[in-house]
C-alpha cells in the first residue's frame, strides 16, 4: 500500500473513530438530557464542564498541533533526529510544569472564575458550579499532555490515536451516569469524577502508543532553545487564532447564564452541530496541516494549491449538505435524541432554534479551520491572531445587539455572523500575502455549490412539508420518527449529490476511492 492510500485510509479511520465517539457522545447526552434536562442543575454542571472542555477544544483541536508540527518537521527535514527528540522532550517538560501551575491557580480561584462567567447565578449555584469545575479541572493537565503527544503522532502521520481518545471520555461519562442512576448517587458529582479519570486514561493510552511505536523524545533538563522559543511564540497567538469559535462560544455562555435554561439549550445545539465539524472538517485540517508543513511541499506551489482547493471543496460540500439537514430537520433530530424525562417540547424548540443559527455559520467554521491552517503551516500566527481578536470584539457587539430581542438564539446567530466575517478577512490576508489565490475556475465551482445548496434545500423542504402535511408517514412512536428522519436524510444526500452531478461539480467517476484520495496527495 502506497503513501497516498495510507493517508486516505487514515482520513477514513479518523472519521470512523470520530463518528463512533460522537455516537457515544449522543448516548451520553441522551442520558444527561433524560436525567437533568435544561434545569438549573444541568446549567450548573454544563458551565463547570465548559471550563476544562473549553481548553480541550482549544488545545486538542488546534493550538499545540498547529504550533508544534511545522517546527518539528522543519527540524526533521534537516536530518537532525537527536535535535528533534531533544526539542520535543524539553517542550513536554515545559508544558507539564506550566500546566501544573495553571491547574493550581485554577483550583485556588475557581469560585472567582465562576462568578465572572456566571454573575447571574445564585450564590449557592455558583458554589456548586465551582465545586464541580474543581473536580474536573485536572482534566486540563491530562488532555493537554495528551494533545502534545498527539501532535508528535500527527507529525509522524499517525493520526488515528488522537481520533480514538474522545471515545474514552464519552465511555467513562456514560458509565458514570449509569452508576449514579442505579445507585442513587449525585449524578453531577459522579460525572465530574468520570471526566478527570477519563483524562488520566486518555494520557496513558496515547503514552503507551508512543512507546509501542518507538517514537522517542529525550526528556533531559529542559533548555529554552531557539526552537522552544519559536514554539511558544507560535502557541500563544494560536490559542486565540485557532480556537476563536470556541472562545466566542464561551463568551456566549457568559451571556447565556442570565437566561434560565439557555446554557443547556446552546450546549445541546452545539453538540449536534459539532458532528460534521468533528468528523470531517477537523480531520481534513489536521492532515492538511501536516502536508503543508513539509518543507519540500512548500516549494511546490501547484501541489499546495491543489491540496487547499480539494480541502475547501470537500469541506464546503460536507458543511453545505449538513446545513440542509440541520436547517430543515433540527426539530425532529432534537425530538428523537433528547425529548424525554426532564427534557420537554419547549426545550426541543429552544434547542432547535439555536441549531438553525449555528448551522448558518457551519461553512464559516470550516473555512476558518482551513484558512488558519494555511497561516500556521507558514508559521504565521500574528495575522490570524489579529483577525480572531477582531472577530471576538464583533461577536460581543453582535450579542449585545441581538440578545434583547432574540435571547439565546441571538447568541448563536452572533457566533455565525462573526465567524463569516472572520473567514472572509482571513482569505483577504491569504490573498494579499500570496499564500494562496482563489482561481476563477475554482470560484465558479464554489458558486455552483452554493446554487446546488439553494436548490437542494428548497426541494428537501418541499418534500418534508409534503410528507408531513399529507400525513404520509406515521410519527406516533420513536421508531417511526427515526424512520422518517432516515428517509429525509437519504433524500437530502441523494438530492444534493444528484444536483452536484447535474451542475457538473461531480461526475460518477469522482465518487470512487482514487478520486477522493487526491485530497491527501503528499507529493
pLDDT, tens only, 115-137: 988 888 889 999 999 999 999 99
Q: List the one residue out of 369, 360, 366, 363 whose CA is nearest residue 402.
A: 360
Do the beta carbons of residue 195 and residue 171 sit within 8 Å? no
- What average pLDDT does range 236-250 have in this prediction? 72
Q: Which long-range contacts (CB under 8 A, 24 or more apart) does 294-301 make?
A: 294/73, 294/77, 294/522, 295/73, 295/74, 295/77, 296/77, 297/522, 297/523, 298/377, 298/378
Predicted confidence (pLDDT) per residue in 133-176, tens digit: 999 999 988 988 888 888 888 777 776 776 778 889 889 999 99
Integer Cα distance of 268 and 38 in angstroms = 9
The confidence score (pLDDT) of residue 232 equals 80
Query: Which of 197-211, 233-247, 286-300, 466-480 comes out lowest in average pLDDT?
Result: 286-300
Query: What DSSP state is assigned to residue 509?
Result: G
Q: Cα–chain-centroid distance for residue 416? A: 15
Using CA atoms, how far residue 158 sits from 60, 227, 435, in Å, is 15, 23, 27
Predicted confidence (pLDDT) per residue in 441-459, tens digit: 888 989 999 999 999 999 8
Q: List the one residue out of 53, 94, 154, 156 whose CA is nearest residue 373.
A: 154
Q: List the one residue out of 414, 410, 408, 365 whose CA is nearest residue 392.
A: 414
Predicted confidence (pLDDT) per residue in 208-239, tens digit: 888 888 877 777 777 777 888 888 877 777 77
The confidence score (pLDDT) of residue 523 equals 42
- What average pLDDT does range 69-98 have in this prediction? 80
**Exposed, middle or buried, 476 (CB in 10 Å: 0-12/13-18/19+)?**
exposed
Task: Please report how many Cα atoms fall inside a 13 Å half-sphere around the Cα of residue 305, on the Cβ side.
Answer: 11
Q: Name the average pLDDT for the chain.
A: 82
Other C-beta atoms within 10 Å of 437: how many?
A: 12
Integer Cα distance of 502 and 505 in angstroms = 8
Do the beta carbons of residue 351 and residue 338 sit within 8 Å? yes
* 7 pLDDT above the threshold of 60: no
Query: Which of 25-29, 268-272, 404-408 comes out lowest in average pLDDT?
Result: 25-29
**Phi, psi angle pair for 243, to nearest 5°:** -120, 30
Do the beta carbons of residue 241 and residue 381 sit within 8 Å? yes
Query: What DSSP state is assigned to residue 223?
Result: -
Using CA atoms, how far residue 42 sits from 35, 169, 191, in Å, is 9, 19, 12
The four Cα atoms 199, 205, 207, 208 give a dihedral, to 10 degrees, of 160
- 80 Cβ partners below 8 Å, 6+ apart? none
Integer Cα distance of 55 and 58 in angstroms = 5
Q: How confident is the model at residue 243 (pLDDT cuts 50, 70, 90)?
A: low
Q: How confident is the model at residue 10 (pLDDT cuts 50, 70, 90)?
A: low
Query: Which of 38-47, 178-187, 220-229, 277-286 comes out lowest in average pLDDT?
Result: 277-286
Integer Cα distance of 42 and 36 in angstroms = 5
pTM of the complete model: 0.78
Predicted confidence (pLDDT) per residue in 456-504, tens digit: 999 888 888 887 766 666 777 788 888 888 888 898 889 998 988 888 8
* 357 pLDDT above the threshold of 90: yes
Integer Cα distance of 123 and 129 in angstroms = 10
Integer Cα distance of 90 and 228 in angstroms = 8
- What average pLDDT does range 360-389 have in this prediction? 86
Do the beta carbons of residue 232 and residue 64 sit within 8 Å? no
The confidence score (pLDDT) of residue 466 equals 81
Integer Cα distance of 24 and 314 in angstroms = 25
Integer Cα distance of 222 and 219 in angstroms = 7
Domain count, the chain: 1
Domain ranges, residue 71:
3-520
Residue with more model confidence, 51 or 244: 51
The region, left, alpha or beta by phi > 0 then psi within -120 to 50, assigned to residue 379 is left
Amino acid at each position: 500500500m502506497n503513501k497516498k492510500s495510507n493517508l486516505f485510509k487514515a482520513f477514513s479511520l479518523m472519521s470512523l473513530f470520530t463518528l463512533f465517539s460522537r455516537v457515544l457522545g449522543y448516548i451520553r447526552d441522551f442520558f444527561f438530557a433524560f436525567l437533568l434536562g435544561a434545569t438549573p442543575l444541568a446549567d450548573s454542571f454544563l458551565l463547570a464542564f465548559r471550563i476544562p472542555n473549553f481548553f480541550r477544544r482549544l488545545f486538542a483541536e488546534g493550538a499545540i498541533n498547529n504550533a508544534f508540527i511545522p517546527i518539528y518537521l522543519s527540524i526533521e527535514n534537516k536530518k537532525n533526529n537527536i535535535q528533534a527528540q531533544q526539542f520535543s522532550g524539553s517542550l513536554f517538560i515545559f508544558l507539564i510544569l506550566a500546566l501544573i501551575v495553571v491547574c493550581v491557580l485554577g483550583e485556588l480561584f475557581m469560585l472567582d472564575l465562576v462568578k465572572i462567567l456566571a454573575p447571574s447565578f445564585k450564590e449557592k449555584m455558583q458554589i456548586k458550579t465551582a465545586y464541580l469545575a474543581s473536580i474536573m479541572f485536572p482534566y486540563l493537565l491530562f488532555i493537554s499532555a495528551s494533545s502534545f503527544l498527539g501532535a508528535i503522532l500527527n507529525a509522524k502521520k499517525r493520526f488515528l490515536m488522537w481520533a480514538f481518545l474522545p471515545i474514552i471520555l464519552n465511555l467513562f461519562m456514560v458509565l458514570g451516569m449509569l452508576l449514579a442512576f442505579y445507585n442513587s448517587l449525585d449524578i453531577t458529582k459522579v460525572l465530574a469524577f468520570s471526566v478527570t479519570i477519563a483524562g488520566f486514561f486518555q494520557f496513558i493510552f496515547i503514552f503507551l502508543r508512543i512507546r509501542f511505536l518507538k517514537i522517542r523524545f529525550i526528556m533531559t533538563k529542559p533548555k529554552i532553545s531557539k526552537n522552544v522559543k519559536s514554539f511558544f511564540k507560535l502557541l500563544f497567538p494560536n490559542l486565540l487564532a485557532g480556537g476563536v469559535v470556541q472562545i466566542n462560544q464561551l463568551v456566549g455562555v457568559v451571556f447565556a447564564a442570565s437566561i434560565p435554561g439557555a446554557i443547556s439549550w446552546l450546549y445541546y445545539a452545539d453538540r449536534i452541530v459539532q458532528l460534521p465539524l468533528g468528523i470531517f472538517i477537523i480531520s481534513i485540517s489536521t492532515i492538511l496541516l501536516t502536508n503543508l508543513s513539509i518543507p519540500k511541499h512548500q516549494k511546490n506551489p501547484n501541489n499546495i494549491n491543489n491540496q487547499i482547493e480539494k480541502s475547501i471543496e470537500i469541506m464546503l460540500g460536507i458543511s453545505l449538505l449538513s446545513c440542509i439537514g440541520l436547517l430543515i430537520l433540527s426539530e425532529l433530530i432534537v425530538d428523537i435524541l433528547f425529548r424525554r424525562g426532564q427534557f420537554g417540547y419547549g426545550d426541543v424548540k429552544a434547542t432547535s432554534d439555536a441549531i438553525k443559527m449555528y448551522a448558518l455559520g457551519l461553512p464559516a467554521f470550516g473555512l476558518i479551520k482551513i484558512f488558519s491552517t494555511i497561516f500556521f503551516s507558514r508559521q504565521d500566527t500574528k495575522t490570524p491572531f489579529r483577525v480572531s481578536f477582531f472577530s471576538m470584539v464583533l461577536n460581543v457587539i453582535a450579542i449585545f445587539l441581538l440578545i434583547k430581542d432574540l435571547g439565546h438564539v441571538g447568541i448563536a446567530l452572533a457566533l455565525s455572523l462573526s465567524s463569516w466575517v472572520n473567514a472572509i478577512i482571513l482569505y483577504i490576508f491569504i490573498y494579499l500575502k500570496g499564500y494562496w489565490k482563489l482561481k476563477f475556475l475554482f470560484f465558479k465551482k464554489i458558486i455552483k455549490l452554493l446554487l446546488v445548496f439553494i436548490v437542494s434545500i428548497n426541494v428537501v423542504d418541499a418534500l418534508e412539508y409534503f410528507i408531513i402535511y399529507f400525513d404520509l408517514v406515521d410519527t406516533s412512536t420513536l421508531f417511526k420518527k427515526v424512520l422518517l428522519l432516515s428517509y429525509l436524510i437519504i433524500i437530502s444526500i441523494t438530492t444534493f449529490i444528484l444536483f452536484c452531478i447535474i451542475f457538473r461539480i461531480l461526475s460518477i467517476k469522482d465518487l470512487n476511492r482514487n478520486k477522493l484520495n487526491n485530497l491527501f496527495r503528499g507529493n
